[in-house]
Amino acid sequence: MQRCLHLAGLGAGHVAPNPLVGAVLVYEGRIIGEGWHRMYGGPHAEINCLDSVPDEDRHLIPHATLYVSLEPCTHFGKTPPCSQRIIQERIPDVVIAHRDPFPDVNGKGIEQLQSASVRVITGILGKEAAHINRRFFTRHTLHRPYIILKWAETADGKIAGPGGQRLYISGDVTNRLVHRWRSEEAAIMVGSQTILADDPMLTNRFWTGAQPVRIVTDRQLRLSHDRQVFNEHAPTIILNTIVEKTEGNIQYLRIQEGDDLEPVLTMLSEKGIQSILVEGGTALISSFMRQGYWDEIRRVVSATVLAPGGIDAPAMREIAVDAGWKGNAKEGNFDMRGNISEKNGKHAGRGDGYLLEKVEHLLNDRIEYYVKAG
C-alpha cells in the first residue's frame, strides 16, 4: 500500500479535481503490475495497473491481490467503471486504503466487488490515503474547498508598512517556494485592499505546472481594470454583490452582503474549485480564521525585515482560542506542527522538507506550518 501511495503522488498537479490514486498487483510477494491515475480524463489507476501486467504474467491475474489507495469506482464517468474490470479479470482479493467519499462511489465499489465474491479488505494506511487526497476529501465531505492560509510577516509581526505600504518581506527562495504552492492549488484568493495596495499579478511564474484561478473579493466593484489581476495570464473570479457575468477570462460571481464565507465557499466548491491558497491581507485571512474555515496555515516570518507602525499580521493565538470551529473540527482541536520541517521531520506540504533542506542556508525566513487536526 505504501507503493500505491507513492504511485498516487505521481499524478499530483495532473488529475485534479479527480483524486490521486495508485494501484499495485501482487502475486506471491512479487509485483506483477502497477499503475496510477496519471491525468484528468485518462484511465484510472486500477486500469493502468492491470494493463501493465506483461503477457507472460497475465495468467497469474486471477490468483493475485490488487492493492489500491482508493475504493474502485462503479460509475461511468470519463472512463468505464474499474469495479467491472476487476470482476472481469477474476481478481480474488482486493485491499483498499480508503473508501471514496464521492457520492457516486462511496461504498458502492466495495459492495459490487463483494457481491461478485471478491474478498475485500479496507482501511490499510487509510489515514495516509486520506491525507494525500485531503483536497478531494474536503470538497466531497465538507462541501467546500480545502483552505490554506498563507502570509509573510516581518520580524516584528507586520504584513505591510505604515498606511499599507507594500513590503518585500520574504526572500527569493521563499518566493519561489510560494509559487510552487500556487501551482499546487486550484485557486489563489486575496482581499480587494491587497489589490489596491500591491497590485499583485497573482500568477505562478517561478515554478512549473498549473496556473491557479485568481479569486478577488471586491464586493462593491471598486477595483479598476488596469490592475494586473485583470490581465489575461490566468482566469479570474471577482466576488461581488452587484453582477453575475463573464467577460473573457474574468468571471463575476454574485455573493450575499456580509462577511459569511460559508455560502461563498459552497459556491466555489460547486464551481469545481477544490482548494484555495488565501494569500492575504490580514482582514480577509482573519475572517477565514474567525469563521474556522482553514485547513492549513503557512506563515513566513522574516528574520530581518522590520516595519514599525505597519499593519499587524493575522494573530495566531486569537484563532486557537476564539475560532467558531466549523466542519469537522472542534474547539480546541488544534494541532500545531511547528517550524521548519526538517527540524522535527513533520511536513504539512508535499515534499517541502526536501526543498528546505537543500536551500536552508539561503533562507532568511522561517516557515511555520500549522495543520488543523480533524
Ligand X SMILES: NC(=O)c1ccc[n+]([C@@H]2O[C@H](COP(=O)([O-])OP(=O)(O)OC[C@H]3O[C@@H](n4cnc5c(N)ncnc54)[C@H](OP(=O)(O)O)[C@@H]3O)[C@@H](O)[C@H]2O)c1
Residues at the site binding ligand X, with contacts judged by CB under 6 A: 151-152, 159-160, 164, 166, 169, 190-194, 197-198, 217-220, 259, 261, 279-284, 287, 311
Residue 181's nearest CA partner among 203, 201, 156 is 203
Q: Are 76 and 86 in contact (CB under 8 A)?
A: no
Give least dist CB 258 to ligand X, A. Answer: 8
Give residue 22's Cα distance to chain centre.
Answer: 18
State the minimum distance, in angstroms, from the CB of residue 313 to ligand X.
Answer: 7
Other CB atoms within 10 A of residue 210 CB: 16
Q: What is the DSSP string of 130-174?
A: HHHTHHHHHHHHHSS-EEEEEEEE-TTSEEE-GGG-----S-HHH
CA distance linking residue 363 with residue 345, whole number of Å? 18
Cα separation, 295 vs 225, in Å, equals 32
Q: How far apart are CA 108 and CA 120, in angstroms?
A: 12
Comparing CB distances to ligand X, the nearer of 110 and 264 is 264
Closer residue to ligand X in complex, CB, 49/152: 152
Q: Quick one: cell of 233?
A: 495570464
Least distance from ligand X to the Cβ atom of residue 268, Å: 12
Q: Is 46 annotated as catalytic?
A: yes
Nearer to ligand X, 85 or 299 (CB): 299
Using the minimum distance from each CB to ligand X, give the nearer residue, 67 or 369: 369
Name the minimum Å distance from CB 252 to ligand X: 13
The residues near 232 (Cβ < 8 Å, ≥ 6 apart) are 248, 249
Minimum CB–partner distance for residue 208 and ligand X (Å): 23
* Residue placing its CB nearer to ligand X in the complex, 99 or 298: 298
The active-site residue out of 28, 34, 46, 111 is 46
Residue 24 — left, alpha, or beta (φ > 0 → left; ψ -120 to 50 → alpha)? beta
Q: Which residues contact 14 (CB under 8 A, 6 or more apart)?
A: 38, 39, 40
Backbone φ and ψ for 109, nearest 5 degrees, come out as -65, -45
Q: How far is the CB of 298 from ligand X (least distance, A)?
A: 10
Q: Least distance from C-beta 226 to ligand X, angstroms? A: 17
Q: Which is nearer to ligand X, 120 or 196 (CB)?
A: 196
Q: Which residues pair with 153 in a beta bridge?
A: 301
CA distances from 49 to 11, 35, 67, 334 (A): 14, 4, 10, 39
Distances (CA, A) of 82 to 13, 119, 242: 22, 16, 45
Of 260, 352, 346, whose CA–CA distance to 300 is shortest?
A: 352
* Shortest distance, position 286 Cβ to ligand X, whole Å: 8
Residue among 151 and 369 whose Cβ is closer to ligand X: 151
DSSP state of 246: E
Q: Which residues touch 246 (CB under 8 Å, ≥6 apart)?
A: 252
Nearer to ligand X, 83 or 154 (CB): 154
Catalytic residues, which ones? Answer: 46
